[in-house]
Amino acid sequence: MMAGSHIALGAAAWFVAAPRLGLPALDPALLGLAVFGALLPDIDHPKSWLGKRLRPVSTACATLFGHRGVTHSLLAVVGCAALLFSQNVPLAVTAPLVVGYLSHLAADLLTPAGLRLAWPLRGTYALPLCRSGSPFEPLVVALMLSWAWGSTSEQINWHAGLRALGVCRVAAQSWPALCPPGPEPVAALPRPDLEKTLARLRESSQTLLARNGMRPAAEPAN
């Protein structure tokens, strides 16, 4: 499927999974991680949305494994399970990444190209519901997103947002109804440093390419 469809389906999957994991479905950081996870399998395609932005990494993955190779296989699913049950990384980080990642695999499984689940074997598995980029794809995505949004009971807390922005400190006395007393603040969920993670990925891929006598493709001009 296209990048926009994967983003929407990653968010939809998180709306459904988050309440069952005891995590907030509408937390911006967690939702962002789910969306990032939904784009992550296409790191093996230099022309994908994520591949263009992480060119050295995507070039290395495409050269070594090809598109829809190991990142779209059962090995990747096993890796997701290991990450999810790891005690070294908080669940608030691993859960949205894994949910988004698996949503990508499920979406690609619905296209005629399917997945090489048994990679490195060449056989593909598919439940061809819609062709990638076809007019039917947005309809399928819209239906799934609508169902997922309707299945979550979590609502946007506008009062909490106003308090977080500091509006209540200024307007509480003039408009007390605008900022009613809220629950005691809870500890903030850990925010992963994505910039450092991406920098490490770039360094690792450049080292890998250098060891194999290859050069990363030149970055596109701004």
Residue-wise pLDDT for 3-59, tens only, equals 888 988 999 999 889 888 888 888 888 989 999 999 999 888 888 888 888 888 888
Sequential DSSP letters for 88-125: SS-HHHHHHHHHHHHHHHHHHHTSTT-B-TTTTS---B
Structure tokens at 170: 């200024």
At 115, phi and psi to the nearest 5?
-130, 145
CA-closest candidate to residue 46, choices 69, 32, 63, 70: 63
Residue that has been written with the tokens 């399970």 in this structure: 81
Q: For the chain, what's the residue count?
A: 222
Mean of the pLDDT values across residues 144-173?
61
Q: What is the largest CA-CA distance in the chain?
A: 68
Chain position carrying tokens 């911006």: 28
What's the mean pLDDT in 191-213?
63
Task: Supply the pLDDT for residue 26.
Answer: 83
123 contact partners, CB below 8 Å, separation of at least 6: 116
pLDDT of residue 134: 80
Q: What is the pLDDT of residues 74-129, one digit of tens each?
A: 999 999 999 888 888 888 889 999 999 999 999 988 888 888 888 888 888 888 88
| Beta-carbon contacts of residue 110 (< 8 Å; ≥ 6 apart) | 1, 126, 127, 128, 129, 130, 140
Please determine, for residue 146, whether its predicted confidence score (pLDDT) is greater than 60: yes
- How far is it, in rounded angstroms, from Cα 82 to Cα 103? 17
